Amino acid sequence: MTPSLAGPASAPVRERETDTTERVLPDAPWDVIVWDDPVNLMSYVVFVLRRVFGFSEPVARKLMLEVHTKGRSLVASEPREQAERYVSELHGYGLQATMERSS
């Protein structure tokens, strides 16, 4: 990786080892949650959501405000590996993001 590409533009993604077993239904979706944080700027969160998910500005802002006011926001619901990629990418930008099985 070249230094000029390091940083938030290049969140790490590593292939999962093949010995992983899917514990529940293989295709059951996982929810990706972004949590409130007292440091990340509101504009920065909008920027990250736009960049990672390709959201329009009103959608990204609505989700950001949900994080701000409710403490968390569901930003994606995806198969496990895609959810993992999103969490990893969001951590690359410094957002507090987790995934959990959809209920």
Residue 6 or 77 having the CB closest to another protein: 6
The answer to whether the beta carbons of residues 27 and 83 sit under 8 Å apart is: no
Q: Which residues bind another protein (CB under 8 A)?
A: 1, 3-14, 16-17, 20, 23, 33, 36-47, 50-51, 57, 60-61, 64, 67-68, 84, 87-88, 91-94, 96-101
Min dist. Cβ of residue 90 to another protein (A): 10
Calculate the dihedral angle through the C-alpha atoms of 34, 72, 63, 80, rounding to the nearest 10 degrees. Answer: 40
- The angle that helices 42-53 and 80-92 make with each other, rounded to 10 degrees, is 140
> Residue 95: which of 73, 69, 80 has the closest Cα?
73
Residue 84 CB, shortest distance to another protein, in Å, is 6
**Nearest CB to another protein, comparing residues 47 and 53:** 47
Minimal distance, residue 102 CB to another protein, in Å: 11
